[in-house]
Amino acid sequence: MTAELIAFPVREANTFDDAWACRAGQMKKRGDGLEKTRKLWNKCAERVGHARLLAALKANLQEKEPLSGFPGLSVWLNGERWDHWLPDEAAVALVEHPPYPQRPALIAALGEPFVVSYCDPAIIHPDGWITPATGYAKGKLMEKGRELKAAGLLGIRNKVER
């Protein structure tokens, strides 16, 4: 008689308390309720993992200018603003796109960091339209509409579900 081995999944540690502690000063002034935000955090963490979501928050907090403010944590979670700040492995896993003809003009107009962050993860359609990878990226691209048009893109399409 052989013994059966049963493997139990190991749950990832919940990182909400760490996230709540590292919020920016501006974020703490917003009216986030602890339990409401905890539920939102856990919902988002189910999709991407607790450690990756915390890393996204910390990366966003490090890059954000201190005087520009920061939304409340619940707004950051509900708006999927964390999606843009996921570690590189997550961004690469979303979608890989071949080089597109407008890329050199976009780099010249917007700079390579902007193009790598917002244009490369997007879908550049052959007809000249761009579909941003996230809602946050869509906002950033909309701010640069003139530059996008000058580089040969026609406009922005709504995000497609993956």
For the purposes of burial, counting CB atoms within 10 Å of the CB of 106, is it exposed (0-12), middle (13-18) or buried (19 or more)?
A: buried
Task: Give the start-end residues of each E strand in the chain.
Answer: 123-124, 129-131, 155-156
Side-chain-side CA neighbours of 129 within 13 Å: the count stands at 7
Q: Given this model, what pLDDT does residue 122 score?
A: 83
Q: Given this model, what pLDDT does residue 157 score?
A: 85
Please list the rounded mean pLDDT of every run of 10 residues in the chain (162 residues): 51 73 64 79 85 81 61 80 69 51 88 82 84 85 91 81 45
Q: Given this model, what pLDDT does residue 7 score?
A: 47
